[in-house]
Structure 1
Amino acid sequence: MNDSNITRLELISENRMFGGLQRVYSHHSKLCNGTMRFAIYLPPAALSGNKVPVLTYLSGLTCTEDNVTAKAGAQRMASELGLIFVAPDTSPRGQNIPGEDDSYDFGSAAGFYLDATQEPWSTAYNMYSYITRELQEVIAANFETADLSRQGITGHSMGGHGALTIHLKNPDLFKSVSAFAPICAPMQCPWGEKALSGYLGDNRDNWTAYDATELVRQSPSKATILVDQGSADNFLKEQLKPELLQQACQESGQSLSLRLQEGYDHSYYFIASFIEDHLRHHAKALNT
C-alpha cells in the first residue's frame, strides 16, 4: 500500500502510565474509506529503544478503542512484560450508509473484523484487511521499536471472534492468540447470522472464512488458544457457544485452554479480572 496519507498519524491524546505512554491516534484509512482511530500503549522498554512484541486487542459490539484502554487495566502488565498494546476501533465511522446506525449489532461499532462483499458495506467495512494489512503498515512506519515479527492477538466477544479467525487465517503474522467470551460459531448464532448475511450475502459457504469453529477444523494452528468465558454471561448459550469451538478443537487436534470462570459475566469487570493471565500467555509465547 505504501501511501503516505495512510501512514501519517495525528496524535489525539497522550498520558503517562506505569512508566510508559498511553496514546490515541487517528489516520486516514483507504480500506475503511475515512478516518480511523487506534490506541497504543508504549511500555518503558519500547521508549528506551528496545524492540518489543506487539499485542493487538479487538473490542466487541458498541465499543471503540476507549473501552479496553480505560477499563481493562492492561497497561500495568504491558509495562511489566514489555508489550506494545494496540487497540483499534471496531468499525468505520460516518459512512452515511442507510441503516448504519439503526442497531447495535450491525453497522457502526459492529464491523465483525471481516471484509464485506455486499454493497454498500464493501466500500468501507473491511476490518479484516485493516487489521492484517493497513494497521500493520501504520505501526511499521511510525513505531520502530514495534517488533512485528512477534505479534499476538486477543479480543472480547465480537473482538474475540475477530482474534480467533484472524489468527487461524494468519498464524505466521499473529503467532499467539487468546479471547474473552468470543463469538465462537457466528454461523450458528443470531449476532453472527445477522452480520454475516448483511456483509457477505446469503451464501453460507462464504461465511465459513469468518467462523472460528469452521476454520479450526480446516486449519488448526500450532499455538495454544486461551479462552476465558464467564459462567454468568447472559450471552453464553444463545450467542457465544464455546462448546462448539471446544468440540472442533478436539476433532482437529488444536490446542485449546478453555476456562469457565464461575460467576463472571460479559462485562469489563470480567476482562479486568483475567487480563493479566492473557498478557502473560502472549508474552510467554512471543518471547520464546
Structure 2
Amino acid sequence: MSFNIESQISSCGGKLLKLKHDSKSTKTSMDVNVYLPRQYFEEKAGKIPAVYYLSGLSCTPQNASEKAFWQPQADKYGFAMVFPDTSPRGENVPDDPEESWDFGLSAGFYVDATQSPYHKNYKMYSYVHDELPRELYQFFQTSGLGAGSTVDFLDNVAITGHSMGGFGALSGYLQQYSSPRKYKSCSAFAALVNPSQVQWGKKGFGGYLGSEVAQWEKYDPVNLVKVVSNNGNDTILIHQGTSDPFYKDQLKPHLLIEAAKGTSWEGKINLNLVDGFDHSYYFVSSFVPQHAEFHAKNLGLI
C-alpha cells in the first residue's frame, strides 16, 4: 500500500503534504496531512519524532493544518506532525440517518465499531494507532523527499487532540500505555474525558459499540485511568477554556481528575482551566506552544 501525494505546500520552514491512500482498516480511501519540519530537509538530520494530532467533530485534516499553527513549533523543536481524518468517507460509507453533525461522517470517535452497518468501515482506532503509523513509516522510508532524514512514525511518537480528538488521544494513549508502550506523551485540548456519561459519547458509543457498558469502558478515559497503571512519572497535559459552551455539559474535565484520585495517575494529570477561552481554534492555537514544548521534552528534543 502506498500514498498518493495530492499536493506539497511550503509552510513555515518545511512542507505540508496532503496525502491519500487506501485503508485496509476502513476499506475506504483516507486523507491525511503530514507536516515535515525544516530539519527533515537538512543533511544528516537523522530520525525525526512525530506528533499525531486528532481532530474533533465535523473536522477534516485541513482544520488543524490551517488553524492550529503547529508548523512553527514543529520547526522550532524538530518533530513531524500527522493530521489524520476523523472518519472514513465515501458514497458507500454509512452516515447518520438523521444527518446530524455529531455521529457518522466526520465523527468516527476513534473507536472500532462493532454494530451494523458501521462495523465495516468505522475502524478508526485500528486505523489511527496501527495501520496509519505503519504505512507512513514504510512510505517515507523510500519517498526520497528528505535529505537523508527519516521520520520515526512508530516508536518516538506523541499524541494530542481537540474535543472528540482529545478523547481519542487520551483513550489511545492509555490503551497503548503498556505491552509495549506506544506513545511517549499525551496532551489534549478541551477533551471529551467521560463519553460514557454525556450525550455526545452516549450517541457515539451506542451507535458504534452497542449497548454493553463493558464495550464503552474499554475506550473511556475515566475508566482507563483506574485500570491502567502509570509505571513511571508520566504526566498528561490538558487545557480547557472556561468560556467553552461545551465545558460543563459535555467535556467535564474534572471527572478525569476525580477518577484519578487514589490511582497511579493522581497528581499526574495537569488540567489547566483558562479564563475566557472558547472551543475554537483561537483557543487551540493559543496553547499549542505549551503542548509542543511538553511533547518535545518527552520526545527527547529538549
TM-score, length basis structure 1: 0.95
RMSD: 1.3
> In proportion to residue count, which structure has more helix?
1
Contact persistence 2:33–2:65 (CA under 8 A): yes
Q: Which residue of 2 aligns with 1:34?
A: 28
Equivalent residue of 2:9, what SS?
A: strand
Equivalent residue of 1:175, what SS?
A: strand
Could you report, residue by residue, the CA deviation over 1:241-271 in whole angstroms, capped at 9, with x for unpaired residues?
1010011122313111100011100000000
Equivalent residue of 1:86, what SS?
A: strand
Percent identity of the aligned residues? Answer: 43
Query: 1:98 Cα deviation (Å)?
Result: 5.5
Structure 2 runs not aligned, ≥5 long = 142-149
Query: 1:99 Cα deviation (Å)?
Result: 2.9
**Could you say if the C-alpha distance between residues 98 and 108 of structure 1 is closer, same or farther in structure 2, counting changes exceeding 3 Å?**
closer
Moved more, 140-149 or 62-71: 140-149
Contact persistence 1:111–1:125 (CA under 8 A): yes
Q: Which residue of 2 aligns with 1:285?
A: 298
Could you report, residue by residue, the CA deviation over 1:71-124 in whole angstroms, capped at 9, with x for unpaired residues?
011100101100100000000002342636711011000000000001110100
Equivalent residue of 2:33, what SS?
A: strand
Equivalent residue of 1:105, what SS?
A: coil
Q: Which residue of 2 aligns with 1:146?
A: 151
Could you report, residue by residue, the CA deviation over 1:12-55 in whole angstroms, capped at 9, with x for unpaired residues?
11111222111110000111111001000001212224211110
Q: Which residue of 2 aligns with 1:167?
A: 173
The reply on whether 1:44 has 2:7 as its aligned counterpart is no
How many matched pairs? 282
Contact persistence 1:55–1:84 (CA under 8 A): yes
The reply on whether 1:115 has 2:112 as its aligned counterpart is yes
The reply on whether 1:238 has 2:238 as its aligned counterpart is no
Query: 1:143 Cα deviation (Å)?
Result: 2.0
**Could you say if the C-alpha distance between residues 213 and 52 of structure 1 is closer, same or farther in structure 2, counting changes exceeding 3 Å?**
same
Distance (Å, rounded) in 2 between the aligned partners of 1:43 and 1:96: 34
**Could you say if the C-alpha distance between residues 160 and 186 of structure 1 is closer, same or farther in structure 2, counting changes exceeding 3 Å?**
same
Moved more, 97-106 or 200-209: 97-106
Contact persistence 1:40–1:84 (CA under 8 A): yes
Q: Which residue of 2 aligns with 1:191?
A: 200
Contact persistence 2:95–2:103 (CA under 8 A): no
Contact persistence 1:164–1:178 (CA under 8 A): yes
**What does residue range 190-229 of structure 1 map to in structure 2 within 5 Å?**
190-221=199-230, 222=232, 223-229=234-240
Contact persistence 1:100–1:106 (CA under 8 A): no
Moved more, 92-101 or 51-60: 92-101
Equivalent residue of 2:114, what SS?
A: coil
The reply on whether 1:129 has 2:123 as its aligned counterpart is no
Distance (Å, rounded) in 2 between the aligned partners of 1:284 and 1:15: 28
Contact persistence 1:39–1:69 (CA under 8 A): yes
Equivalent residue of 2:262, what SS?
A: helix
The reply on whether 1:256 has 2:260 as its aligned counterpart is no
User: Could you tell me which of 84, 89, 100 is aligned with 1:88?
Assistant: 84
Contact persistence 1:100–1:108 (CA under 8 A): no
